[in-house]
A = this chain, B = another copy of it.
């Protein structure tokens, strides 16, 4: 992997990654104005979670006309984008409209309300230069490079002493609110372990303390031995609909050997994981012969400076369609109570995904 770090005219950082030595123009920015990002957090006293406020974000682009794509390489220097021309495959840059920022000012004081600075990082990751493709359509080598980029960003962000958790994710599809169609994801770095991962940590640690075993490894071993919900596997990885899926076609992708971070995998393991990710996304797109809208998250261990033998890295994909034409909406019981209702059985949906020829 080749990597170079650049600085944009507005002060933001940009990283280019490639499979060959990199050649590229200078780093552009859509606007020369420095980014004024001053997010703050407020504590929700009845949910026990932080909410972040970044009032500048309302102006971010939404389905811009096709002639301007901020994630394409800059070709017209009168209308610079976020990226330079060059031979890179993957690019990462600091978000111009971040929900969390490295050095925000002091949070406002609000009588009776607990506030804090919105410290953290929000990065945009561009999966490739072609705006017409998608993550699942990239080559295996390209996706393997992407896994290395996610590993690299996790190491760099996680090494900051204030960062406790790094979450790479992709929202894909108009149906889930995507504003830019060029294949890309985001990386959030939090200065706390966020609620979903804090709960997973607590439960994984409890299982480890009680049994001496890794909860995710137990899950992988169970799925492999049962083989009723696995829809794809290779020598080092598997993809399955978890037995407790909350979305009809919820898909988890895991290495067969539980690890805490992408950077813990061998090249062979990582390459097989890349293959599994491609294979899974191809199946989801083939399922209804249309691009599947989804949320994808990469769940690695907290970057809190301690070892995490209890953690098992996994990709969780939440596809938004439950049939060819029907979306799975989150309603009262999901958003209001935290109990998901699934109309389908994971064993049945896994079989559908398994039978797809990719």
Contacts and interface: CB of A to CB of B under 8 A. Distances in A.
A237 interface: no
A282 to B, nearest CB: 22
Contact of A219 (B45, B52, B331): B45
A337 B196 contact: yes
Interface string A302-320: 0000000000000010100
A339 B52 contact: yes
A58 B244 contact: no
A42 interface: yes
Interface string A204-220: 10010000000110110
Q: Which size class do A's interface residues fall under?
A: 35 or more
Given A58-B322, A337-B195, A341-B54, A332 B171 contact: yes
Given A46-B215, A169-B331, A345 B110 contact: no
A135 to B, nearest CB: 14
A322 B53 CA distance: 14
Q: How many chain copies?
A: 2
A48 to B, nearest CB: 5
A213 to B, nearest CB: 12
A337 B344 CA distance: 25
Contact of A341 (B47, B99, B215, B218): B99
Contacts of A288: none
Contacts of A188: 332-333, 337
A87 to B, nearest CB: 29
A67 to B, nearest CB: 21
A101 to B, nearest CB: 12
A336 interface: yes
Contacts of A99: 333, 341
A85 interface: no
A333 B185 CA distance: 12
A199 B326 CA distance: 32
Contacts of A204: 46
Contacts of A242: 44
A210 to B, nearest CB: 12
A62 interface: yes
A46 B196 CA distance: 9
Residue of A113, A177, A343 with highest tally of chain B CB at under 10 A: A343
Nearest to A55: B345
Given A58-B323, A337-B196, A295 B332 contact: yes
Interface in A136-186: 165, 167, 169-171, 176-177, 186
A222 interface: yes
A253 to B, nearest CB: 15
A231 to B, nearest CB: 17
Given A48-B199, A329-B176, A336 B295 contact: yes
Given A48-B199, A112-B226, A113-B243, 5 more contacts: A57-B343, A176-B329, A177-B329, A186-B332, A194-B333
Q: 8 shortest A-B CB distances, which residue pairs?
A: A177-B329, A169-B332, A195-B338, A194-B337, A297-B336, A57-B343, A99-B341, A112-B222
21 contacts: A45-B244, A46-B203, A46-B204, A53-B345, A55-B348, A113-B243, A169-B331, A169-B336, A170-B332, A171-B332, A188-B332, A190-B337, A195-B337, A195-B338, A195-B339, A196-B337, A196-B338, A197-B337, A295-B335, A297-B337, A316-B336
